Every structure is written in C-alpha cells, then in structure tokens.
Structure 1
Amino acid sequence: MSAESTPEPAIPGETGTKGPSGRAKGRRRKPRDKRKGLLIMAWTAAGIVVLGGTGAGYLYFKLNGNIKSVDIDQALGTDRPEKADNGSENILVLGSDTRSGNNKKLGGGADDGSARSDTAMILHVYEGHKKASVVSIPRDTLIDRPDCTDTDGKTYPADSDVMFNSAYTTGGAACAVKTVESISGIRMDHYLEVDFSGFQKLVDKLGGVEVTTTKAINDPDSHLNLEAGTHQLTGKQALGLVRTRHGVGDGSDLGRIQLQQAFIKALINQVKDINLFGNPKKLYDLANTATKTVTTDSDLGSVNSLMSFAGGLKSIDSKNMTMVTMPVQYDPADPNRVIVAESQAQQVWTALKNDKPIPKSATKGTAKGDASSVVTP
C-alpha cells in the first residue's frame, strides 16, 4: 500500500485522518492577526515540536521520512560565491511545473516528464531575522546559462541567450541554483521547491486563502474565472491565480509575478489566521502534506533542520517584507521576452550582498506588468 493510501495515525486526543478540510461558505472569519509568519514551512516545521511534545514520536519519524532533498553543495562544488558573514541568509524558492504524474493535468502539455521553474524567488532574510526581501526572477528572462552539473553527476555545457526557466529543465535544481548565483553573484544558502500538485494540496489543507480582486479575471489557459470581489480561493483557484498571465495587466509574465507576490502576502496572513497551534489535527495534516510535497537542499532535509530554519523565519512581520521583481526591460527583438536591466539589477544584488534594503531607484522605470492593483491580500 502506498504512502498516499495508508491511513494516517491518530494525533493524541484526536481520531485518524479524515477527508480534505475546507472552510464552510458564509462562515464568519475571525479578525486577522498579521504579525507573524513568512512561509507555510515556517509554521508547519515549527509545529512538529508541538507534535513531538505530545508523545507522538512516531509522527516525528514519519514526517522526517516524507522529506525529499537534493545535495546541491556536492553538485556545485567550490566554484560558487562566498557565503555571507553578516548574519543574513539567501534561499532560492522554486515553483516547478513538472509535466508528469499528478501535475500533467495541472500544468498542461504532454506527459513527457519535462519540468521548468515556473516561479523563482530569492528570499533574503536580513540579520536579526526581523525583516526580509523577496526578488522574483521572471521565467522569460533571456540569460547566459553557465555550465553546470546535476545531482546525478551529468554535466551540461554553458548556453547563451536562453530563457531563465530552461536552466531547471536542463539540469534540475543544481543548475537552477548555479544560474541564479551566476546572475546575482550571491550564494544561495538554501533551496526549497514546491510543484503544482503540492501547492494545490497545501492551499486546500489550509482551508483556502482569501484575496480580493479589483477586476474580473477570466483565463481559460489557467482555468481561472473570478468576478471582481472577495474570494476564498480553493487550491485549484489559487494555482490558477499564480499561473494566470492573460487578461491581467499587460498579459506578460511580469503581471503574473505581481499576482504571485500579492497571493504570498495573503497566504502569510492565512497561515496565522487559522491558529494551527490550537488545532493539533489540522497542524499534523498540514505538516504531513507539506513535507510530502516540498523538496529541499540536503541541509534542510530533516525535521530538525526545518525546525531550526523555521525558528529563524517565524518572527518576520509581513509588513517588514519587501517584494520586487528583478529589474528587466522588454526585449526589443521579442516583446514576449525580457532582458536584465544590468545597472539597476546590480543595485539589487549589491544591496542584498551588504544586507541592506533594496533602493527604490533599483526598480524605477523598469518593466512592471501592470497587474499590481488587480489582487489585494
């Protein structure tokens, strides 16, 4: 029997696993507390401590066995930027669109096993872990990809003028990390990846995420149809929102990034709003789903490591999180592609290297996407 079909053990004081959870329509929501939280993993991993403290040691080992990891450091070797010694951390977060298994019907396309980094964000956590910056990298950015080696030891030659998301397709996580380090000159301390199927499951386990749309969104390609107004998005709808690019803004990947950033802020609010620590059963269900659907670097590939990582993130206030897109301009030769605005991008990388705030001048006059006001958390 597979892990998916095996009945889950009971939490002390609770019964075994039931069906997918969700919030009933029309239910009055409690006032939001936006003070803490950054990522789903920050809360679910920290919550494992609670589970362990109740004597559910078996659950600890089960969750530990769920986690998939890749040895990025071994694949990349020593030819990398130096680690920062200023107390900051840099984490590459990828959303992948693997075209196989459960992801085929979610991502579209042929079931050929191919994958791209549909979403890529550099999360910079400042010294003291009280604030953070997120830099989204457009998937359609034309870049020079460095030579790289994947985690199986296969090497790939460098290539020029290729789309950023092809790095993941070429050599997986290791090649994606090396490409980001090549572009930014900043070492990635950690790596986290969530695929389409996993993202949808996580949102459903949370009971949905509330957002407000200022305009109607109708995109058959991402299977999303929302009227203007406030919505409690299901996992399927949330996935459609973070993937849509038609019918919002200028129809580019840059507009989609703005929707993704707005959704992340809503997600942060939602994680705190549902009071996970007051509901051991819900906490376990979410932790079980999260650890099954994320892939990490080997340094984060255990419950203990994730707990330590979570402890450094959970005090970050969403109001102290800056979200920008890597400075780019539309490619004059192809409006469906963008190119790095080198001088302004360098302002971003210099700020992060020195653990400083990203200056507003870094993104002034760059291509935006014109969808920033379409969705509000």
Structure 2
Amino acid sequence: MSTTAADQEAPEDGRGGGAGGSGAGGDGGGAGRGADRRRRRRRVLRWSATVLSLVILGGAGAGYLYYRHLNANIKSDDLNLADAKDAAPETKANAAGQKPLNILLIGSDARNTAENQKLGGARDTFNGVPLADVQMLLHVSADRSNMSVVSMPRDTLLDIPKCTDPDTGKVYPALTREITNASLGRGGPGCTVATWEKLTDIHIDHFMMIDFAGVVSMADAIGGVPVCVDANVYSHTSDGKGSGLKLEKGTHEIKGKQALQWLRTRYGFEDDTDLARAKAQHMYMNSMVRQLRSEAKLSNPNSLRRLAEAATKAITVDDGLDSIKKMYDLATELQKVPTERITMTTMPNRYDTVQTGRVVPTDDAAKLFRLVREDIALDGKDTAKATASPSPTTPTDPAAADDEIAVQVHNGTYTDALGAARGRAAAVTQLLVGKGFARAVADTSPATSEKTTVIRYPSADLQGDAQRLAKVLGIPASQVKKSTDVSGVTLFVGADWRSGSAYKAPEQDDRTPESAQTMNAADTSQCMHVDPAYTW
C-alpha cells in the first residue's frame, strides 16, 4: 500500500528541537553547548546529504539525519506485486553469512504534476499511465568488494507476471512479449520489480524510483555533473522528436533541465537508439558518483540542506527503505565499494524479428544474469575468496522425496552438424528411474536444440525438486532455471550429453560478455559520440 514515511525517527539523543537542556538552572555552559550543537548539526547535515544523494545513484556515504520533515518527504510503495509463486527466491548467504544486495533503480516518465508535465511535454499524456523508461539493477557483492549495474533498454520485449495494485486491488493479468516499461503502470514499481525477477530469477531487495522533477531538483542541488560530447549536438528533429539537448563539443557541467535532457537523449547519440541512451545514462551516473564521493561541492551548509531536501522529495522507495535510518544503513554498505570496482553494463540484446524497433534478451543476457545471480564480479577482478563460492538460492519449498518428484525428460541433443542423438530421452529416463526417480517420463516430441543440458521448472514451489534432480545428476546449479515455458520439472538433455550415463559439466565461462558493453565508474575519459546528423 502506498504510504508516506513520516515521524518514524526521533532525534538520536531523545530530545526535540526546542530549548530543553540549555535553559536556566544548567551548569552555566549553555553558550558552549549551543555552539557544539550547531557544529554537530552542520556535520550531521553534511553527511546526511551525501548519504541520501549517493544512495539514489548507487554511490556511498556515511551518517544520518533524524529530522522528521525529511522522513515525511519520503514516499514508499510495496516491493513486489506478483504472487509469491512468481517471485525469485531469496539469495542464500555464503559461508561467512554475507548476502549480496540487489536494488532496482527506476526512472518514471510520469506526467502527474504540472512540473513533470512541463518537463515531459506531450500535453495529451497528462496524468496518464506512467512508464518505467529507465531501469537499472544495482548489485552489490556479498563481500562488498564490487558493484555491478545492469541497464535494460526500455524497448525490451519480455513476459510480465500477474500483478495486483495494492491501493485498488485491481489485478493485472500476466502478459507475454510486452514492452518492459509498461510494467510500471500495472500497479506501481512493485510490478517492475516482479518483471525483473521473472526474467532474471534474481531476488531484488529494494527499489528506488525518481521522476522528471526529481532528476532536475537533484541535479540542481548537486551543482552540476560533468559530461562530454565529441561534437556539437542538438537533439531535435523536424517532426518534433528529441530531448532538446544542445551542447558544444567538449566537457560541460550540466544540471537541472539540461541534466534531464541528457538522460533522455536518444536522437543525437551514436546510432540514435535506446542503447545509446543507456550508455549516456551510465556516463552521467558514473560522473555523479565521482562528484559526490569527492565531496568537492558538498561544503556549503545551504547547498547540503537543499540536497537533502531534494533527495528525500525526489524518490519513492520500498517499505524497507522508508526512513533516513534505513537509508543510512544501506549507504553504510554501499560506502565499502571502491569507485574503481563499479561496473556499468547494458543487458545484451538483439532486435526482434516481429516487432520493429523492439529488442529481446540474448543468450549473453542469460549469462550476464547468471553472473549477477552467482555474485561474480563483472570487472573480472575477483580474487580467490576465503569464503565458499556462491551458493544456489534457497528454495521456498524443500524438495520432495526422489520417488515423488515428477520429471519430464526431453531430447535437446539436436545440432546442425550431428542431428539428434536418437532415444536419448528414453535412455536418460531409464537412468533416472534407476536412481530412484520413479515418476520420470520421456517426452516423445521431436528433439530440439539445447547447447547445454538444463533443468527448467515453472514456479518457486518446484525449485527444490529441480535442484535435487540437478544434484543427483551432477548438473551445476547455474543450469537450473525458472521458466514458464514448462509445466513441471523438465530435464532438457543437451548436445553436451549425447551419450553415457554420467553427465560431465562443461567448463564454466565466468567472463562478462563483450556485448554487455562494460564501463568502469572510475573512467573519466568517456565521451559520447554524436551522430553527424544532429550536429550544428
């Protein structure tokens, strides 16, 4: 249910903001104590502003501010609007008891206020259904040594689960091959979270959402973020499209409306696609993190106050982040990650063959999500860790007894070079029955092509069964996947298991796909390439 997080925290020392504790009858040190309080207040305010702004962009900070009006600024909403069976299971802690953090950052195009309408244009869309035009999954490793950010193009086609609006009770049915940014209008940000979990099988701990006006106010409060273009650019077309961004060649500190234009620019950067826009957003985000961490502009108390106000008013968060104290706790964790270990990526994709201008995830996207799910650093700099390697997620329901687990076995050994290995489904089914899986049956449909043997299951209540099957056969946990394409636990015998009774897992490739277009947050040399058609 949508709420406002008001009056949740009291001042740390238990006193209000009045004159108590410094009046007559004290020890005579009232003036000195007043000066100390002012110094403490400036110091707390300075750090609190850093925390709030950095949390929004996955940066870092320390300190918190127990002022009720700031808590009252924060809006909250439900984290996940899907049925429990459609949610990704919580990530299991490693041997040291550490868990990664997954936070979904959402940029809304809502025109629900006069300010948002002015910034967003399109009068006929005022107060219309909002779209999640910016979506970034921020993953913080369990040991807090690194951070990964995965952007999803807003034109991505995927499956959206059934979502229930927490305010009205309206149920939005599940959709297939729907554009991802439509998820926000199906009950709120919790449906966008549910959509990510359905696609990636990554449990999301929190979300943060910001709208047009929030971007402008944050950029103004920070005082400007440096960006670079390699030529003069004007994002404008003859038929009125474009963000309106107009910059000369070189590096500029942008803020306010110009910052929003940068983040929205599609026509003018590189190939004029949503992929180029994602790259520009990564550059802005990296630059903003560097600005805030350097604290070069965070020394003026009035500027800090404006930043704290702007940050708390700009965002909507889940109930787990609906107070300054909770944001502080999160920021404390984020602070541990060095800037040079923050890696920005874009979900690997290809153009859809049916819907023009839309994209779909590729096999590289599945690999990227696996790396995030298994807490493997995307910068390739993971060293041998003292703790155990990442464990599979903990199922919501434990596995049934082996002889009660229904398994369908499908022949997926077909390759263009070798064709299909005949009778493979029947042979592996017989193997499973011999191992105690009495309810295993062979699928008699034509063989398909699966490069790697995989176990798929449709819902969280069958995850334990699927993981048990994988353990018995020696199939890696990374090859156990949730999918609505199957109706029960299904073993697809792939081209890597064309014969024999023992499965030998292929050597795992944990390198980040080149198609993910990695960008390091510490890299200050990045400059957006301008499409020559949009120069002036």
Q: If the TM-score is normalised by the length of the shorter chain, which range does it land in?
A: 0.7 to 0.9
Q: Are residue 364 (structure 1) and residue 364 (structure 2) matched? A: no
Contact 2:76 2:322 in 1 (8 A): yes
Aligned pairs for 1:205-284 (under 5 A) are 205-220=221-236, 221-275=242-296, 278-284=299-305
Secondary structure of residue in 2 paired with 1:82: coil
The offset of 1:274, in angstroms, is: 3.6
2:107 corresponds in structure 1 to: 95
How many percent of aligned residue pairs carry the same amino acid? Answer: 35
Secondary structure of residue in 2 paired with 1:231: strand
1:82 corresponds in structure 2 to: 89
The offset of 1:334, in angstroms, is: 3.9
Match for residue 75 of structure 2 among 51, 68, 93: 68
Letter in 2 for 1:293: A
Aligned pairs for 1:328-343 (under 5 A) are 328-341=349-362, 343=363
The two structures have a TM-score, normalised by structure 1, of: 0.81
2:346 corresponds in structure 1 to: 325
Contact 1:38 1:316 in 2 (8 A): no
The offset of 1:128, in angstroms, is: 2.2
The offset of 1:248, in angstroms, is: 1.2
Secondary structure of residue in 1 paired with 2:142: coil
Aligned pairs for 1:137-216 (under 5 A) are 137-152=152-167, 153-216=169-232
Secondary structure of residue in 2 paired with 1:122: strand
1:124 corresponds in structure 2 to: 139
Match for residue 302 of structure 1 among 323, 335, 342: 323
Secondary structure of residue in 2 paired with 1:336: coil
Letter in 1 for 2:84: T
Secondary structure of residue in 2 paired with 1:309: helix
Match for residue 349 of structure 1 among 342, 353, 369: 369
Closer, same or farther in 2 for the Cα pair 1:44/1:125, shift >3 Å?
Answer: closer
* Partner deviation per Cα, 1:2-48 (whole Å, 9 max, x = no partner): xxxxxxx9x9479xxxxxxxxxxxxxxxxxxxxxx954577797443
The offset of 1:61, in angstroms, is: 1.1
The two structures have a TM-score, normalised by structure 2, of: 0.58
1:4 corresponds in structure 2 to: none
Distance of 2:338 and 2:91 partners within structure 1: 23
Closer, same or farther in 2 for the Cα pair 1:65/1:41, shift >3 Å?
Answer: farther
Closer, same or farther in 2 for the Cα pair 1:44/1:348, shift >3 Å?
Answer: closer
Contact 2:223 2:297 in 1 (8 A): no
1:21 corresponds in structure 2 to: none
Distance of 2:112 and 2:358 partners within structure 1: 26
Letter in 1 for 2:185: T
Closer, same or farther in 2 for the Cα pair 1:143/1:338, shift >3 Å?
Answer: same
Distance of 1:296 and 1:211 partners within structure 2: 28
Runs ≥4 residues deviating over 6 A = 41-45
Q: Are residue 374 (structure 1) and residue 528 (structure 2) matched? A: yes
The offset of 1:357, in angstroms, is: 2.0
* Bigger mean CA offset, 153-162 vs 190-199: 153-162
Distance of 2:121 and 2:267 partners within structure 1: 16
Letter in 2 for 1:357: A
Match for residue 315 of structure 1 among 311, 336, 352: 336
Closer, same or farther in 2 for the Cα pair 1:76/1:337, shift >3 Å?
Answer: closer
Contact 2:347 2:516 in 1 (8 A): no
Contact 2:228 2:527 in 1 (8 A): no
* Partner deviation per Cα, 1:116-149 (whole Å, 9 max, x = no partner): 0110000000012231000001110011211111
State the Cα RMSD in Å.
2.8
* Count of aligned residue pairs for this structure pair: 332
Distance of 2:302 and 2:517 partners within structure 1: 45
Gapped regions of structure 1 (runs ≥ 5):
1-8, 15-36, 53-59
* Bigger mean CA offset, 107-116 vs 201-210: 107-116
